[in-house]
Chain A
Amino acid sequence: MTQNLRVKSSEFIDETNRISFKFDGKTYYGFKGDTLASALIANNVHLVGRSFKYHRPRGIMTSGSEEPNAIVQLNPNSNITEPNARATEVEIYEGLEASSQNCWPSVNFDIGGINNFLAPLFPAGFYYKTFMWPKSFWEKYEFFIRHSAGLGKSPTTKDPDIYDHRNIHCDVLVVGAGISGILAAKNAAKNNFKTLLLDEKNELGGSTIFEANEYNKINHNLASEWLKKEINELKNIKNLEIKTRTSVAAYHQYNYLLARENLTDHLDKKNKKNKIRQRLLKIRAKKVILATGALERPLIFNNNDRPGIMLSSAVKKYSNFYGVACGTKNIFFTNNDSAYESALSLHNKGIKVEAIIDIRENSDAKIIKKINDAGIKIYWAHSIVDTRGYKRLSRVSIMKLSNDGTSVTGSKISISCDCLGIAGGWTPAVHLYTQSGSKLNFDEERKIFIPKTDTKEQISVGSCGGDFELDEIITNLNYKLKNFLNINKTDFEDITLENDHETSKRNIWLLPSDQTIGKTKPFVDYQNDATAKDIKLALREGFRSIEHVKRYTTTGMGTDQGKLGNMHALGIIADTAGVKMGELGTTTFRPPYTPLTFGTIVGRNVGEFFDAFRRTPMNDWHIKNKAKFENVGQWKRSWYYPKEGETMHQAVQRESKAARKSAGILDASTLGKIDIQGSDASEFLNRVYTNAWSKLAIGKCRYGLMLNEDGMVYDDGVTTRLGENHYIMTTTTGGAANVLGKLEDYLQTEWPELDVYLTSVTDHFATASLCGPNSKKILNKIIPDLDLSDDNFPHMSFKEVLIDKIKCRIMRISFTGELSYEINAPASYGEAIWQKCIEAGKEFNITPYGTETMHLLRAEKGFIIVGQDTDGTMTPIDLQMDWIVSKKKYDFIGKRSLYRSDTMKENRKQLVGLLTEDPNIVLEEGAQIVSELNQKPVEMLGHVTSSYFSPNLNKSIALAVVRDGKNMMGRKLFVSMENKNINVTVANTVFYDEKNERLNA
């Protein structure tokens, strides 16, 4: 049944190491060294997938990372399955499982294949045109599209593998280990440059290493034999690091490159275990040598996508490198001499070559004689007009090409075959070169884009630089290397070279057929099923920019980014629109060159390391006492402390009552703290806060509001004067880093004359905030020596004290409206001080409370939270905080903006209180406020910013911003909530203890 297509042992394949693997549920065997593609071909499996749009049967087309068709699902039955792996890159290992993609129920019988027969209904832009109308149908379309679109299936559980990042600095980075890359790396390293050589394949030597062309000789040996010796010498060279299975994904400015090193994908499960799977290399190179080679072009003709139609160079590699015949009756179709080398390679290995079809009139290459001697028929000036065979190629029809190449004439000849090698010439792999920001030139004669310039930091050598013939490659490499590395001599400049030269050229981007274009399927982008017809349609419909044509037809937008067909698309556009290709330019090559896994991109930054959490010194106590946590910026803050069976609401109500009736304690360590010193510290504070600071006495605290230069509230907090030239500023938890950055900015760039030094000390102190009428008694138990009388230690003042020999700073300040003390202890003593407060507070039933209760308590007092009640559009005046804006100060950050016509407008949104008619209804934060219910469209007056049920007032309270709210006191408005409108009344923002009597209770 299955035929074995393994023809001859190859030195690159270890036939003593037999490996079993599964494809589409069936077990096959291959050898160590095989890729999934070579092993499948050896097992005579050619149909490996279905195309994306038409679900046409597709086979293996290439032997490398440019593969558009043979993309497979790995571990298809596992929840860690991986889609879109290229069979041409997957190295087989014992136990490998893979399956086809884009087909249901199976690759051999696929329901979606019906699209192929409906193809006339799926022209370019089909999705744009069809699904836009009627609009209301979109949801139905979406369901259909989502179920038929997409490549492969995603894993359903967390990626269990380990990924890593590594920074590398080198003198010379060489990308690509073909003959040019190897010689370049070797000579760089020999001349004392710290050199790194990378190649995406698992072996060195590029395409030269399996070359059997006896017309290409170095020092009278086959080029491949000579190169093997060179590779052998590499291991003795110092300064040279070589990484294979490493694909450069991106080339950024300043020679910064990202590469993916694949470490375990080729190993069996046992050997993969506990090892790093892939590593992202972040390389900063002083100099970069690009030796990325060239990609063979297909030819674009009718039905050029059947399984069995492959690149000529791939057919050669499967035979020479893997020892596998791609068919038993092979044909080549070419526009240049390289297919003859492939044909001869096959012939020499005993694989039958039926014919070569060449669109050129003739060629004077020496190899033609050998082909004639081998008895292989050549059809000059012929073109393939159609192919047959549904799941595998069975025959091709050829006709004579007209002189101008636009039509075919004469009678049709039909040739039976099962493999067709197509050779459309070569495209330099300039992807990385252009990613680096460098520009391309179009060579009209050779129809290729080549690098425009080499620089001091970067050169392109070998075929990616436009050199294809051996003597050209070596001579130019020698010259370029000496200049680039500033060396006198290379170790290869005296070698003797022999090679044939290609003379005749004929390039036709779209080959004609005897049928009209409307009836043909000449695929340009195999993966996305874009044909030449689609491109012509896009041009007819008025698209001109290649970027637009690309998006409209989806040409080049697959996972392969159109590595094979992009040039043909450009050529067809140029021919059809009657412009020169050089003027048309090219689409942008974007990173990554080949797809990367998310794992590689994030490396170790997953799980708890994704965004590192900051925890306060009292964190362990909170956990022990069953706190629920809330994320505030990077901090984990205690949110509330539920008792057995309590809901969040119940816990918060209990905590809030306790803090006002007896005593509560809050971990306030996360507040930003900036130490400010210097002889101009007071002047500095005058400039950054809206109120005056010069007269603040030592040992006193003051609340400050900080604006942006545009007059909008930016941050707030209490600052304490510790000494003549020494302050400690507190900021909001989330704003700490930005405030420090902003202050530094002003100090360094606007006011460098000020003698002021800023130091972030947020992490240096732990803060326990004692609150409630009994807080004074608790503090007295802890520090009996300290006189806590209002005379000695009034509200808004500070004392430095010793608690158990620990130097602490205590501020009598309040964010709840209750008598409060903030104890700041060195961070390492934070938990001990906290514990001490808890112990001392036991007799007063001290209640730890979290951020939710803190928010509730401050809302009862109408204290704002920057970022919750403000949103970057609120001035202090909007917040009804006029009292904190100094009229006397000449200037402070944002002052001028408070006098702009816009900020002085009467009917700006202003902060007000809201009370619901039904005291039990708690408004939703963010809910919209309106004054009319029947008006359409209704005017939105503002929104609710803070809303709670207050246990101390036994009713719901809310803060809101409302247009012209200042003048609306007592007005009845409506708040729209889900399915109902709530009646509310505009009120004062202070709901509790308006006279501030409790501060001294």
Chain B
Amino acid sequence: MFLINCPYCGERDQQEFKAGGEAHIERPKQPTELSDDEWAEYLFMRKNIKGVQFERWNHAHGCRKWFNMVRDTSNDEIKAIYKMGEKPPTQ
């Protein structure tokens, strides 16, 4: 059970949050220009890494804000948390 530091509310228990999958996959600005394969790449393909992964999380039972998290999926260490729109930290 993680202890997650919501950038708006502070440290809260994991059960207040909802995981939202891989981060930094931007919705294409001009979907009609894309081939079926390119659209499928955006729509379906996710990395699901064992190791350091960039994820979206939502403080669903709190401030309802979305934010990003860098998490090592092999040991669940949360390496960084940053707001939507902010640049991901470089290692």
Measured CB to CB, the nearest residue on chain A to B67 is A748
Q: CB-nearest residue of chain A relative to B31?
A: A896
**In the bound complex, CA of A929 to CA of B56 (Å):** 42
Contacts known (A709-B43, A745-B66, A749-B66); A254 close to B58, Cβ less than 8 A:
no
When the two chains form their complex, are residues A900 and B3 in contact, meaning their CB atoms are under 8 A apart? no
- Are A897 and B32 in contact, CB atoms less than 8 angstroms apart? no
- Could you tell me if A254 and B36 are in contact, using CB atoms closer than 8 angstroms? no
Proximity bits, B20-38, A CB within 8 Å = 1, else 0: 1000001110111010100
Are B66 and A900 interface neighbours, CB within 8 A? no
Complex Cα–Cα for A252 and B14 (A): 12
B46 within 8 A of A: no
Picked from B13, B26, B39, B76, the residue with its CB within 8 Å of the CB of A900 is B39
- Within the assembled complex, what's the spacing in Å between the Cα atoms of A253 and B31? 41
How distant is the Cα of A890 from the Cα of B58 in the complex, in angstroms?
Answer: 29
Task: Say how far B55's CB is from chain A's closest CB, in angstroms.
Answer: 12
* In the complex, residue of chain B having the shortest beta-carbon distance to the beta carbon of A258: B1
CB-contacts of A259-296 with B (<8 A): 284
Evaluate contact between B58 and A745: CB separation under 8 angstroms: yes
A896 touches B39 (CB 8 A): yes
CB proximity of A431 to chain B, nearest CB, Å: 18
Chain A residues within an 8 Å CB radius of B84: 748-749, 752
Chain B 4-20 residues near chain A, CB threshold 8 A = 13, 18, 20
* Interfacial chain A residues near B79, Cβ < 8 Å: none
Q: Separation in Å of the A288 CB from the closest CB of chain B?
A: 13
CB-based contact B60/A741 at 8 Å: yes
Give which listed residue, A437, A749, A897, contacts B56 with CB less than 8 A: A749
Q: Taking the complex as formed, is A498 at the interface, i.e. its CB lies under 8 A from any CB of chain B? A: no
Within 8 A of B (CB), among A696-715: 709-710
Q: Is the CB of B3 within 8 A of A745?
A: no
Contact residues in A for B64 (Cβ distance below 8 Å): 744
Q: Is the CB of B65 within 8 A of A252?
A: no
Chain A residue at minimum C-beta to C-beta distance from B32: A896
B32 touches A891 (CB 8 A): yes
CB distance from A740 to the nearest CB of B (A): 9
Asked whether B75 lies within 8 Å of A437 as measured between CB atoms, the reply is yes
Chain B residue at smallest Cβ distance from A902: B36
How far, in Å, is A736 (CB) from chain B's closest CB?
14
Q: Which residue of A lies closest to B85 (CB)?
A: A752
Alpha-carbon gap, A437 to B60, bound state (A): 27
Number of residues from A at the complex interface, CB < 8 A: 24
* Bound form: Cα–Cα A709–B36 in Å: 13
Q: Does A935 contact B (CB under 8 A)?
A: no
A792 within 8 Å of B (CB atoms) = no
In Å, the complex CA distance between A770 and B30 comes to 44
Judge whether A256 and B3 touch: CB under 8 Å.
yes
- Write out the residue numbers on chain B whose beta carbons fall within 8 Å of the beta carbon of A896: 28, 31-32, 34, 39
* Residue ID in chain A nearest B76 by CB atoms: A253
**Any B CB within 8 A of the CB of A750:** yes
Interface residues of A in 890-943 (CB under 8 A from B): 890-891, 895-897, 899-901
Count of chain A to chain B residue pairs whose CB atoms are closer than 8 Å in the complex: 55
Which residue from A255, A437, A750, A897 sits with its C-beta under 8 Å from B39?
A: A897
Chain A residues with CB below 8 A from B1, complex form: 252-254, 256
- Nearest-neighbour CB distance to chain A for B68, whole angstroms, equals 9
Q: CB-CB < 8 A to B27: which residues of A? A: 709, 750
A649 to B75, CA, bound (A): 57
Neighbour of A748 across the interface among B34, B66, B75, CB < 8 A: B66
Report the bound CA distance from A252 to B34 in whole Å.
Answer: 44
A258 to chain B, nearest CB (A): 9
Contact assessment for B66 and A891 in the assembled complex, using a CB-CB cutoff below 8 Å: no
Q: Identify the interface centre among A709, A749, A752, A890: most chain B CB within 10 Å of its CB.
A: A749
Shortest CB-to-CB span from A419 to chain B, Å, is 45
B76 touching A437, Cβ below 8 Å: yes
- Cross-chain contact A745 with B75 (CB below 8 angstroms): no
A749 to B85 alpha-carbon distance, docked (Å): 8
Note all chain A residues with C-beta closer than 8 A to B32. 890-891, 895-896, 899
Q: How far is the CA of A900 from the CA of B38 in the complex (A)?
A: 11
In chain A, positions 422-439 with a C-beta closer than 8 Å to chain B are: 437
Q: Which residues of B contact A897 (CB under 8 A)?
A: 39, 43
Q: Give B3 Cβ to nearest chain A Cβ, in Å.
A: 4
Q: A284-B13, A437-B76 are in contact. Are A745 and B2 (CB under 8 A)?
A: no
Q: Within the complex, what minimum Cβ distance (angstroms) separates B18 from chain A?
A: 8
A253 touches B2 (CB 8 A): yes
Q: Which residue of B lies closest to A900 (CB)?
A: B36
Other-chain residue from B20, B31, B40 in contact with A745 (beta carbon distance below 8 A): B20
B44 to chain A, nearest CB (A): 8
Bound-state Cα–Cα, A896 to B3, Å: 38
Q: Which residues of B contact A899 (CB under 8 A)?
A: 32
Interface centre among A255, A284, A748, A891 (most CB of B within 10 A): A748
Question: For the complex, what is the distance from the CA of A749 to the CA of B58, rounded to whole Å?
Answer: 11
Which residues from 743 to 775 on chain A have a C-beta closer than 8 Å to any C-beta of chain B?
Answer: 744-745, 748-750, 752
Q: Which residue in B3, B40, B85 is a CB contact (below 8 Å) of A254? A: B3
Distance in Å from the Cβ of B51 to the closest Cβ of chain A?
A: 15
Residue on B nearest A439 in the bound complex, by CB: B75
Q: How far is the CB of B26 from chain A (nearest CB, A)?
A: 8
The verdict on A744 contacting B39 (CB below 8 Å), with A437-B75, A749-B56, A895-B31 known, is no
Interface hits, A979-998 → B, CB 8 Å: none
CB B29 to nearest CB in A, in angstroms, measures 9
Which residues on the B side are within 8 Å of A895 (C-beta)? Answer: 31-32
Chain A residues with Cβ under 8 A from B85's Cβ? 752
B75 pairs with A744, CB closer than 8 A: no
Distance A718 CA – B81 CA, assembled complex (angstroms): 38
Contact with B along A716-760 (1 / 0, CB 8 A): 000000000000000000000000010011001110100000000
Most buried by B among A710, A741, A896: A896
Query: In the complex the two chains form, what is the Cα distance from A741 to B39 in whole Å?
Result: 23
Q: Residue on A with the closest CB to B77? A: A253
Question: How distant is the Cα of A900 from the Cα of B66 in the complex, in angstroms?
Answer: 30
Residues of B within 8 A of A891 (CB): 30-32
- A710: which of B20, B34, B43, B76 is its contact (CB, 8 Å)? B43
Q: How far does the Cβ of A687 sit from chain B's closest Cβ, in whole Å?
A: 10
For the complex, give the distance between the alpha carbons of A895 and B76 in Å: 37
Shortest CB distance A672–B (Å): 15
Q: Given contact pairs A254-B2, A749-B84, enumerate 12 new A-B contacts (beta carbons under 8 Å).
A: A254-B1, A256-B13, A710-B43, A741-B58, A745-B66, A748-B66, A749-B56, A749-B66, A891-B32, A896-B34, A897-B39, A900-B40
Name 15 interchain pairs, CB-CB below 8 A, sorted by A: A253-B1, A256-B3, A284-B3, A437-B76, A710-B43, A741-B60, A744-B64, A744-B66, A749-B66, A749-B84, A752-B84, A891-B31, A896-B31, A896-B34, A899-B32
> Which 5 A-B pairs rank lowest in CB-CB distance, beginning with the nearest?
A896-B31, A256-B1, A254-B3, A252-B1, A748-B66
Residues of A with Cβ closer than 8 Å to B? 252-256, 284, 437, 709-710, 741, 744-745, 748-750, 752, 890-891, 895-897, 899-901
